[in-house]
Amino acid sequence: MVTWGRRRWMRAVVPALVLVAASPAPALAQAAPPRVGLLFLVAPEADNSRRASAFRERMRELGYEEGRTIAYEYRHAGGKPERLHVLASELVQSRVEVIVTVGFQATKAAKGATRTIPVVMAPAGDPVAQGLVKSLARPEGNVTGVALLSPEVRSKRLALLKELVPQLTRVAVLVNPAQRAAAGAVATELERTAGRLGIRLDWVELAGAEGLEPLRRRLRAAPVQGLYTVESPLIDGIASRIAEIAREHRLPSAFPFREAVEAGGLMSYATSFADTQRRAATYVHRLLGGARPGDLSIEQADRFELVVSLKTARAIGLTVPRAILAQADQVIE
């Protein structure tokens, strides 16, 4: 039997409990912010900190405050491609809402680890040819982002190196052996351009930092007159050390990304990596807002930049032609 005193207690307390249940939860009990995973072959601190920071900067512009309204989970394989699959699985198990990847290998690992969590390439090469998506317009599946579909960029970089050093006749080309699947097309393209420019190419496989000392010895033994690197997250991660070796041997060097020039390389020509990272942030914003990755068409990287270091040119005894300076987007004094 419910007594009058108990009925009075219930009339007083139950409405109060309802009000508490209906009121907003205190800050400590609010839902955790969405978490975004970032998967790198090399650490974002290794020569490409600007690329990761460009992503975070764009996320801030879109209204996300790290630690309050967004959280990031970083994973990097330390230059070891075989670790990417394990790291991608870790991100999936940690229940991130989106995974951002740099390069084909990281993207492939992320796609292999999940069919439901959206994966944003920032960037990858040709995702259709690589089997990552069905088409650029409607990728379907869970992969979208930015693609690098300008193979002529590599030829243009070699041509610019020749324009910088007209007497150039022999160049060492550094390539990641883990990218053999794409190496054939790259070699065909560059050999064709080199033949037109009167340049002989010496192909050098560089699997990581452990290959730098053998590279030094090879450059001492081979009469090459320049150094050229093919795009690879693994090689890009040690670009500053490659630039240092090139300067030691007084070799003009051409890199895919500006960070290598800032670290002592002679020139770079390629897409703006910071731009692709900013685009990736926009994809993440849309995905967190409820968009489906398969419905977001893949963009092509279309902003290219030439960066030249006069400081390095002076150090190796090279005079940069005015025509090159006129084309440069940035000249490092």
Provide the number of structural domains found in the chain: 2
Question: Looking at residue 115, which CATH number applies to its domain?
Answer: 3.40.50.2300
pLDDT digits (tens, 9 = 90+) for 41-76: 886 654 444 557 899 999 999 999 999 999 999 999
Q: Is residue 94 part of a domain?
A: yes
Give Cα 27 distance to the centre of its chain.
35
Residue range 94-120: mean pLDDT, rounded: 96
DSSP 8-state code for residue 174: E
| Token pair belonging to 116 | 């439901």
pLDDT digits (tens, 9 = 90+) for 224-277: 999 999 988 778 888 899 999 999 999 999 999 888 999 999 999 988 888 999
pLDDT at 23: 43
- Residues 183, 232, single domain; the answer is yes
The predicted model scores a pTM of 0.81
Q: Is residue 26 part of a domain?
A: no
Q: Is residue 9 part of a domain?
A: no
Q: Is residue 1 part of a domain?
A: no
- Residues 174, 228, single domain; the answer is yes
Q: Is residue 145 part of a domain?
A: yes
Secondary element (H or E) of residue 100: strand 98-101
Contact 44, 38 (CB under 8 A): yes
DSSP 8-state code for residue 114: -
pLDDT band at 185 (very low <50, low <70, confident <90, very high): confident
- Residues 202, 123, single domain; the answer is no
pLDDT at 29: 47
Residue range 85-91: mean pLDDT, rounded: 98
Q: Which residues pair with 76 in a beta bridge?
A: 40
pLDDT at 16: 46
- Residues 90, 58, single domain; the answer is yes
- Residues 160, 261, single domain; the answer is yes
- Residues 297, 327, single domain; the answer is no
Q: State the Cα–Cα distance between residues 94 and 96, nearest whole angstrom.
A: 6
Q: Give the residue with greater pLDDT, 266 vs 302.
A: 266
pLDDT band at 14 (very low <50, low <70, confident <90, very high): very low
- Residues 108, 130, single domain; the answer is yes
- Pick from 201, 203, 214: which is nearest to 242 by CA? 214
The amino acid sitting at 40 is F
Q: Is residue 142 part of a domain?
A: yes
For CA atoms 179, 125, 254, 193, the dihedral sign is positive
Sequence length of the chain is: 333
Residue range 123-136: mean pLDDT, rounded: 91
What is the pLDDT of the chain when averaged over all its residues? 87
- Residues 177, 50, single domain; the answer is no
| Token pair belonging to 202 | 């010496």
- Residues 82, 176, single domain; the answer is no
- Residues 238, 324, single domain; the answer is yes
pLDDT at 294: 96
The label of the residue with tokens 């030249």 reads: 308
pLDDT(8) > 70? no
- Residues 157, 145, single domain; the answer is no
| Token pair belonging to 147 | 């693609």
- Residues 189, 250, single domain; the answer is yes
| Token pair belonging to 49 | 């900190």
Q: Is residue 263 part of a domain?
A: yes
Domain interval for residue 188: 152-271+305-332
